[in-house]
Amino acid sequence: MTRIVSLAASLVAVAALAVGAAAAGAADRPPLADDVAARLGVPPEKLRDAFKAALTARIDAAVAAGRLTPEQGARLKTRIANAKGLGLGVRKGFTRRHHAFVGRVVAHGRAIGAAATYLGLSREALRAELAKGQSLAQLATAKQKTRDGLVAAMVAPAKAALAKAVAGGRLTQQRADAILARLTARVEALVDRVPPKKK
């Protein structure tokens, strides 16, 4: 699931420069930014300013598109402005936190406990029924429940987590809606899937 994809993707092309700069420094050579600037015939500071301006513009675009909140954008731009190098360090920590959050959301959505509770079964009993080759949707019908109600129950924990993230300024509503839509589609496929019978 990944992820603030657009922002991360925009930085991938230049992320290698940060690695190269570290390697060059370790070898007692000029920083990569200085080397590139010399090859272009521009002052190193001008090259660094150009990189930071490009990253800042991409952050502004992400905020305008709803992929970042204004607060997130402001924090990233502050880090870029204060960076001593090319301002590339903003990607790693931000995307790592986002990946972890999305992973927790997906784990909530897949929790079998929510399905078991909705169907009035223990987890063990639910697994036993699924082992007979019945889908979750079929089990819901047998229990006088609805398929849509089951989907809603399974998605509810993730929906609550997303709402909390939006309220806390860690996610935009637009991004939360997109994550929820993808997650709901996955849960619907899971609910309709007929597992093979276990012998």
Q: Give the tens place of pLDDT for each residue, 143-192.
A: 999 999 999 998 888 888 889 988 988 888 998 899 899 889 988 998 99
Q: Judge contact between 161 and 108, C-beta under 8 A.
A: yes
To the nearest 10°, report the CA torsion of 187, 191, 196, 199.
110
Q: Judge contact between 193 and 138, C-beta under 8 A.
A: no
| pLDDT tens digits, 72-94 | 888 888 888 877 655 455 555 55
Question: CA 130 to CA 73: how far, in whole Å?
Answer: 46
| pLDDT tens digits, 103-126 | 554 554 356 788 889 999 988 898
